[in-house]
Amino acid sequence: MKEEKKRYTKLLERLSAASSGHDSWTLNSSEPSGSSPNDNAKEVHLCLTKNLIATQINFQTLHKLPLSSPNNMCHAPFVCLLEPTDLSMPRIVMTSVHLPPKGKKSRERDIQIKRILESYSSQSDVRLKTPFTEKGARDANQRRSTVHVIAGDWNAWVGDPEYNANKHGFDVLLGKNTMTSAGRQPYDNFVVSQNYKEHCTIGAAYVKRLRRPQNSALGQIGLSDHSPIYLELDFTSQQQEEEMMRGRGKTERTGTGSSHKSKFLSP
């Protein structure tokens, strides 16, 4: 554990140095988890945020889901609640996932994907007791809405109708032909709660291709066999909208005004 803390400190120092020391960062990590209770190769999810942009106010590791049967999760998702420093923006819950691989664990993977999406939309404990919809926020008398982003390696195209992402209130951002792995599979993706349309637009959602990916089948050594995926959400505050309306006249709205950008990189 001490060694991990040293690595985290070093990472934060490098991030600060990369921004010329002007930005400070916060790092929180999940509890270690493996593909099974007997898996000694545990993995950890990290959530890194610029303190100037948002505060991490709560987080949890989901070793179990309430609707799963069995309810133990392989590689437990990490859920982190972010509160932007701009009070006009909604809160954001960011969840990192890593589902079982295709093959012997395909059935287990499919069950867990379905249960993640179903549990997330219906069980507030899974999403740190935040509202999932605009109506939910109003009913709870919450001043700020919440936008939810689930991202990571699904080991499947999560937009497949079998998983019912849309039915459970999500939009899948990357299409089935967007290859993210060395095996040219659309495994990594962003799944976003549909209420994001009330607050922001998708500024960008794409794959940041690695120059040297790992490909064990070809004996190629690299950083990873999956490329990172990138998401940018563009938020426009109510005040900015009003200023835009005053500047352009009440009958003309051809622009989007200045906006705040929230950027996410997974893994």
Q: CA–CA separation, 59 vs 72, rounded Å? A: 19
CB within 8 Å of 69: residues ≥ 6 apart: 111
The model carries a pTM of: 0.86
| Least trusted range by pLDDT, from 18-22, 148-152, 167-171, 237-241 | 237-241
Residues 103-159: tens digit of each pLDDT? 878 888 999 999 999 999 999 999 999 999 999 999 999 989 999 999 999 999 999
The yes-or-no verdict on residue 240 having pLDDT over 80 is no
Average confidence (pLDDT) over 217-244? 74
The yes-or-no verdict on residue 198 having pLDDT over 90 is yes
- Beta 188-193 vs 146-153: how paired, if at all? antiparallel
Label residue 241 by pLDDT band (50, 70, 90): low
Higher pLDDT, 3 or 191: 191
Higher pLDDT, 28 or 19: 28
What's residue 249's pLDDT? 43
The CATH number of whichever domain residue 207 belongs to comes to: 3.60.10.10
Average confidence (pLDDT) over 241-245? 53
Average confidence (pLDDT) over 92-112? 90
What's residue 6's pLDDT? 85
What's residue 4's pLDDT? 77
- Can you give the three-state secondary structure of the chain, one letter per residue? CHHHHHHHHHHHHHHHHHCCCCCCEEEEECCCECCCCCCCCCECCEEEEECCCEEEEEEEECCECCCCCCCECCCCCEEEEEEECCCCCCEEEEEEEECCCCCCCHHHHHHHHHHHHHHHHHCCCCCCCCCCCHHHHHHCCCCCCEEEEEEEECCCCCCCHHHCCCCCCEEECCCCCCCCECCCCCCEEEEEEHHHHHCEEEEEEEECCCCCCCEHHHCECCCCCECCEEEEEEECCHHHHHHHHHHHCCCCCCCCCCCEEEEEEEC
**Nearest C-alpha neighbor of 189 from the set 147, 233, 148, 157:** 157
Q: CA–CA separation, 200 vs 147, rounded Å? A: 10
Gyration radius (Cα) of the chain, Å: 19
What's residue 257's pLDDT? 38
What's residue 70's pLDDT? 57
Label residue 253 by pLDDT band (50, 70, 90): very low
Q: CA–CA separation, 172 vs 187, rounded Å? A: 12
Higher pLDDT, 65 or 245: 65
CB within 8 Å of 1: residues ≥ 6 apart: none
Buried residues in 109-124 as b, exposed as e (16+ CB within 10 A): bbbbbbbbbbbbbeee
How many folded domains does the chain comprise? 1
Higher pLDDT, 227 or 236: 227
Average confidence (pLDDT) over 60-89? 85
Higher pLDDT, 20 or 178: 178
114 φ/ψ angles, rounded to the nearest 5 degrees: -60, -40
When the pLDDT of each residue in the chain is averaged and rounded to a whole number, the result is 85
The yes-or-no verdict on residue 248 having pLDDT over 60 is no
Q: Which domain holds residue 153?
A: 2-266
